[in-house]
Amino acid sequence: MGISIGIVGVGMFGQGFVRLFRDHPLVDRIALCDVKAGRLAKVAERFGIAETYASLDEICRTDVQALAIITQPWLHAPQAIQAMEAGKHVYSAVPMICLAEGDKMLDWCDKIIAACTRTGMHYMMGETSYYRPQAMYCRRRAAEEAFGNFVLAEGEYLHDLDHGLREVARNRRGDQWDISHSGGVPMHYPTHSIGGFLSVMRERVTRVSAIGYVHPNDDWFRQDTVSGNVFSNETAFFRLSGGAVARVCEYRRVGHGGREGFRLFGTEGSFIDEPWGAHWVTKSDITPLAPEEMRDPLPPEVLEAFSRESSSDVEVYGGHGGSHAYLVHEFVDAVAAGRRPSVNAWEAARYFAPGVMAHKSALKDGEWMDVPDWGDAPA
């Protein structure tokens, strides 16, 4: 039996998910919701969707079973909890929440996990790096124990401020924008640099030491009086629960237009992903890997439904390395089957808390810090 779903927030990112949710074979009914009436009407018309709501409060009063919350990052956690309290399963865009104060972010983590337990509703964080072909391939190799023991992970999200990020920040605040909201804390949005390799290793970060970089004559991060953060780049060194180490970079001042990815080294095999291509490497061989062979297959009926209005792989699978199709499928399938989704609240906290603690460490010039953990998701 199919499910009903509402998309809350049809801005720059949310619009990219409407077709996929609408066309998933297990979705019987879809509604859209945004507080911006003009934007909502336009998107509803473009995708031929009749059921619309003017706010989260309004859609929470309906009998729609699940909500995909794709609003601004500082709104995610309270909105996710409001939706779960209203009896809805929740998909949230990353991160769980992004605020100036790390302690408040950890508190929200607590509250989301408590809300999942209290309400029995499922929560999924839409972590794109989890469903990039590289991560799917590495999870399969890890299941075969082809890596041996993990020894080192390197992950990064490199995205220079001048490559669209100033505009994104202004667009998300709209009329509320002023320069005091510039910058933010790079490690407070750490999921793309951490989530990929952690999803493969099935380990957690236990300790962190991190260093911040202050860009000379910075006209953005030093203007951010809300967070008071001056670091455009933060580099973290992590200790993992299985004994391996990880180096993670969250950089907003770097000669790079955008990269989220990882390399993963084991005693028997390693995964290398560079601009010239992904490779599986052993002591005797280097094997190039194409995205088509790295992806897991989607169920045929889902692939067929997503292909119907698409003329290329990019359209079938959607953005961020083709992760969108998998995110939508995982959430819809989990709700329909009544099972916990892959990147549930407990898993999401593991991609998120290490970044919060990394920033605290960077503020103390690399002091080692313990990373909190909420345990594994209950069965």
Contacting residues toward ligand NAD, per CB under 6 A: 8-14, 33-36, 39, 55-56, 70-73, 75, 93-94, 126, 128, 168, 171-172, 320
What is the number of alpha carbons within 13 Å of residue 235 lying toward its C-beta? 7
Pairing of strands 150-158, 123-126: unpaired
Cβ neighbours of residue 207 under 8 Å, at least 6 residues apart?
238, 239, 368, 369, 370, 371
Give the Cβ contact number of residue 308 at 10 Å: 9
Of residues 69, 67, 28, 91, the one with CA closest to residue 305? 28
CB of 39 to ligand NAD, least distance (A): 5
In terms of CB distance, is 160 or 222 closer to ligand NAD? Answer: 160
CB of 190 to ligand NAD, least distance (A): 12
Q: Token match 């619009």: residue?
A: 15
CB of 88 to ligand NAD, least distance (A): 13
For residues 113 and 204, the answer to whether their CB atoms sit within 8 Å is no
DSSP string, 202-237: T--EEEEEEEEE--TT-SSGGG-TTT----SEEEEE
In terms of CB distance, is 97 or 377 closer to ligand NAD? Answer: 97
In terms of CB distance, is 10 or 236 closer to ligand NAD? Answer: 10
Tokens of 119: 């309400």
In terms of CB distance, is 14 or 212 closer to ligand NAD? Answer: 14
In terms of CB distance, is 86 or 94 closer to ligand NAD? Answer: 94
CB of 145 to ligand NAD, least distance (A): 30
CB of 129 to ligand NAD, least distance (A): 8
First to last CA, the chain: 23
Residue 354 to residue 370: CA distance in whole angstroms? 9
CB of 68 to ligand NAD, least distance (A): 10
* Amino acid, res. 180: S
Residue 27 to residue 29: CA distance in whole angstroms? 6
CB of 70 to ligand NAD, least distance (A): 5
In terms of CB distance, is 128 or 229 closer to ligand NAD? Answer: 128
In terms of CB distance, is 94 or 325 closer to ligand NAD? Answer: 94
Q: Nearest to ligand NAD by Cβ — which residue?
A: 11
CB of 9 to ligand NAD, least distance (A): 3
For residues 34 and 40, the answer to whether their CB atoms sit within 8 Å is yes
Strand order in the sheet with 52-53: 52-53, 27-33, 3-8, 66-69, 89-93, 123-126
In terms of CB distance, is 126 or 155 closer to ligand NAD? Answer: 126
